[in-house]
């Protein structure tokens, strides 16, 4: 199975920076599946740019979507709208959105169902905060996140990103044995529910720590934030093939 490497541009780009990054997409190898999670407002721009690249392995992703199909939901973006721009992946339950928008696992479960209905590959993000990690209750916390978010989704296919909140944007990458321990659990929970998909890690991934992370045999790829905005992303990809 090819590795899946996602770039999450968050709110860190504009038209100028997107144009400046164009040249480095050409350098992405075909031996990995790549998605770029773009702010909604630039999906059209990136849809056109990615279409012009002769790189079918680079897919367009959204950073979120509405749990509703359509209706009076000011400011929301639906799965149907994302399909208009050939969005193929969507991040669901990213910890920043869980925090800023007080998202519950129930809402995340509804978003997953909508994405699956519209054939957009969800990447469900789960991860514990430092408090849960330090209190040793992190595995139970992650299990609840997983179980509630995947309710009634037995037999479905989607990817899962394990992103410890304390490692996101902090430069503090989790240790290999910490990541392995959680991935083995997640893969076990997926198996019980017959959920198929890849398990990736996110949290301060960079070209400096990628060689060490690549030693984790349970890993199927990465979700990369800050480092996806520069040539570092190309290095991460080429070292992970
Ligand atoms: P980071 O972000 O690589 O900057 O830590 C990862 C993410 O938020 O997905």
Question: Ligand 1, from 8, 38, 90, 235: best to mutate by most atoms within 8 Å of Cβ?
Answer: 8
Judged by phi (left if over 0) then psi (alpha if -120 to 50, else beta), residue 94 lies in beta
Question: What residues are labeled active site?
Answer: 94, 163
Residue 1: pLDDT band by 50, 70, 90 thresholds?
confident
Residue 129 Cα to ligand 1 middle (Å): 14
pLDDT higher than 90, residue 59? yes
Give the nearest ligand 1 atom to 8 CA. Answer: 9
DSSP H helix total and E strand total for the chain:
10, 8
pLDDT higher than 80, residue 45? yes
pLDDT higher than 80, residue 174? yes
In this predicted structure, what is the pLDDT of residue 79?
98
Pocket of ligand 1 (CB under 6 A): 8, 163, 168-169, 202-205, 223-227
In this predicted structure, what is the pLDDT of residue 96?
96
Q: What is the pTM of this model?
A: 0.96
In this predicted structure, what is the pLDDT of residue 6?
98
- Summarize the confidence of residues 87-91 as an average pLDDT: 98
pLDDT higher than 90, residue 23? no
Give the nearest ligand 1 atom to 224 CA. Answer: 3
For tokens 């809402």, what's the residue? 107
Give the nearest ligand 1 atom to 169 CA. Answer: 5
pLDDT higher than 80, residue 54? no
CA-nearest residue for atom 1, ligand 1, is 225
Q: Are residues 192 and 150 in contact, defined by beta-carbon separation less than 8 angstroms?
A: no
In this predicted structure, what is the pLDDT of residue 55?
82
């Amino acid at each position: 199975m090819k590795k899946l490497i996602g770039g999450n541009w968050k709110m860190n780009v504009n038209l100028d920076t997107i144009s400046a990054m164009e040249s480095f997409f050409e350098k992405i190898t075909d031996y990995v599946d790549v998605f770029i999670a773009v702010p909604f407002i630039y999906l059209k721009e990136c849809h056109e740019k990615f279409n012009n690249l002769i790189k079918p392995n680079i897919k367009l992703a959204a950073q979120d979507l509405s749990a509703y199909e359509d209706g009076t939901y000011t400011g929301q973006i639906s799965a149907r709208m994302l399909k208009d721009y050939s969005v193929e992946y969507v991040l669901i339950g990213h910890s920043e959105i869980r925090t800023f928008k007080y998202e519950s696992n129930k809402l995340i479960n509804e978003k997953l169902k909508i994405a699956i209905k519209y054939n957009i590959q969800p990447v469900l993000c789960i991860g514990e905060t430092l408090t849960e990690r330090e209190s040793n209750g992190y595995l139970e916390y992650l299990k609840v996140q997983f179980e509630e978010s995947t309710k009634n989704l037995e037999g479905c296919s989607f990817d899962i990103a394990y992103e410890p909140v304390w490692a996101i944007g902090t430069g503090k990458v989790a240790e290999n044995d910490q990541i392995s321990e959680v991935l083995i659990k997640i893969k076990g929970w997926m198996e019980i529910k017959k959920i198929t998909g890849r398990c990736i890690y996110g949290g301060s991934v960079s070209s400096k720590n990628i060689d060490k992370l690549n030693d984790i045999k349970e890993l199927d790829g990465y979700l990369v934030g800050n480092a996806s905005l520069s040539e570092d992303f190309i290095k991460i990809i080429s070292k992970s093939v």
